[in-house]
Amino acid sequence: MIDRASGGPSVLVVDDEAGILDSLRILLKNEGFTPHVALGGKQGLQQIEALDPDVVLSDIRMPSVTGLEILSAVREKDPDTPVILMTAQATLQSAMQAVNDGAYYYIQKPFRNDELLAILRRATEHRTLKVENKSLRQEIKRREKSGAARPVGKSRSWIDVLRLAETVAPTESTVLIQGESGTGKEVIARYIHDLSGRADGMFSSINCGALPESLLESELFGHVKGSFTGAVKDKTGLFAAAAKGTFFLDEIGETTPATQVKLLRVLQHREVIPVGATDPQPIDTRLIAATNRDLEEEIRRGGFRADLYYRLNVIAIHLPPLRERKDDIPLLAEVFLARMAQQRVQDPKTLSEGAMEALMRYSWPGNVRELENALERAVILSDSEVVELSALPERIVSQAPERLTEVREATNPTLETIERAYIMWVLQSEGGNKTRAAETLGIDPSTLHRKLQRFGAEA
């Protein structure tokens, strides 16, 4: 493959006259192209196999291997690569044959330099358009096949998350998704996978906190027969099993230091060593990790390796808790109710006004997962088509509106009490979103953070 960072569009020139090759090489280089030359057709075939040129410019009459054979070889390797044929003995018949065989253009020697350069520039633009169109078609097919529907939400913070996920999806970069439990980390990981070039491959996942260290390493890296008691046969690890696909490591903050060392090796060398083996095995898997812990704090406490964190944190996506995206609750509720109705083969139920008000008022410590579970319970307990407030869990029904200030006997409140009341009122009116609350208050978010700490109301 040609390193395009070193110059402009690459052109492979094939001719059996060394003087012509030298002249064209100098001309192309001076005009911003990256020239490669081959003396004769045989060398041209070798260069076609070794390189990936944007355009091929070949003489048609050469001993042993002709320009038409060069054209055939290029079209077999990459039909999108334009081939321009040159000849000193042009005939209508030979020109028609070249075009019918797939040549982009047919030019007669001697030609003017400006004429050739204009043709080359059109050819490179033609190739660029074909490649982009092909890539777009593949992306459309991939989305249609995977059914990569956008995860539900309309709040500004959630839309920002989706846009970032869509930006990084086509890359091979490692992604670290951070957020509280139940915010949808696996949903975003699957969305990235479905939009990536690995969508046709497997999406594998494992919760690192659900298994003991010895069993987790066997699941991740595999093991060989006899490596430990119960290892009666070789086992392929999940990293290797997810070849050409995506591997999602959930709750990576729960891993032990020993496992972290091995994960670091995977990221550094793209290889695994099964438990009990000595030879490394290469892997071709994209890694997406997730955690509900503050890994930087874990690093300060010595619970997580800094070098692994920086390897994981190539692209960081932070998922906002549901209490900071309450605009999404009606949408999420509608989707969950429709899904439950489909599972039960019945019409979707709706929420009463009181039930919706309770959902909007609740702080949702369990986030989207808690919302879904609460609605499932309510649907089961509701006899009518409308889910009433009484069908919701008691913790949601009984949650009183948050008290803005402490009850004080003093007739005249202090300035700090008034300030606290106003800040808490703004924060509540913004649905708990500290960034928007700081904008409304006209202060920096860090200032708001310090005031909340002083009030003892940071949570």
pLDDT at residue 333, rounded to an integer:
93
CA–CA gap between residue 453 and residue 320 (Å, rounded):
20
Q: What is the pLDDT of residue 222?
A: 84
Top-tier CATH class for 156-320? alpha beta
> Which CATH class for the 415-455 domain?
mainly alpha
When computed from its CA atoms, the radius of gyration of the chain, rounded to whole angstroms, is: 32
Q: What is the pLDDT of residue 4?
A: 43
Name the pairing type of β-strands 55-59 and 246-250.
unpaired
The continuous run of DSSP H or E covering 57 comes out as strand 55-59
Task: Name the nearest CA neighbour of 275 among 232, 234, 240, 247.
Answer: 234
| pLDDT on residue 160 | 94
Per the confidence metrics, is the pTM higher than 0.75?
Answer: no
> Residue 139 in contact with residue 132, Cβ under 8 Å?
no
Q: Could you list the pLDDT tens digit for every one of the 459 residues in the chain?
A: 334 444 689 999 999 999 999 999 999 999 999 999 999 999 999 999 888 899 999 998 888 898 889 999 998 888 889 999 988 775 556 666 677 778 888 888 888 999 999 999 989 888 887 776 666 555 555 555 545 678 999 899 999 999 999 999 999 999 999 999 999 999 999 999 999 999 989 999 989 888 888 788 888 888 888 777 666 677 888 888 888 999 999 999 999 998 999 999 889 888 888 888 878 888 899 999 999 999 999 999 999 999 999 999 999 999 999 999 999 999 999 999 998 988 877 888 999 999 999 999 999 999 999 999 999 999 999 888 999 999 999 999 887 454 444 444 445 666 777 778 888 888 887 777 888 888 788 787 777 877 787 776 655
Ordered DSSP codes for 63-108: SSS-HHHHHHHHHHH-TTS-EEEEESS--HHHHHHHHHTT-SEEEE
Reading the block at residue 412, the tokens are 């005249």
The answer to whether the peptide bond before residue 110 is cis (omega within 30 degrees of 0) is yes
Residue of 313, 233, 222 whose CA lies nearest to 271 = 222
Q: Work out whether strand 222-223 and strand 235-236 pair parallel, antiparallel, or are unpaired.
A: antiparallel
Domain boundaries, the chain: 4-133, 156-320, 323-397, 415-455
CA distance linking residue 113 with residue 105, whole number of Å: 15
Q: What is the pLDDT of residue 35?
A: 94
Please state which CATH class domain 323-397 belongs to: mainly alpha
What is the predicted pLDDT for the residue at 421? Answer: 82
CA distances from 173 to 168, 192, 311, 393 (A): 7, 11, 10, 42
Q: Does 415-455 match 4-133 at the fold level?
A: no
**Alpha-carbon torsion angle 253, 258, 259, 260, nearest 10:** 50
Which CATH fold would you assign to the domain 4-133? Rossmann fold (3.40.50)
In angstroms, the CA 415 to CA 423 distance is: 12
What integer pLDDT is reported at residue 221 of this predicted model? 86
For residue 137, give both structure tokens.
């078609």
From CA 271, how far away is CA 279, in angstroms rounded?
10
- Write the pLDDT tens digit of every residue in 261-310: 999 988 988 888 888 887 888 889 999 999 999 999 999 999 999 999 99
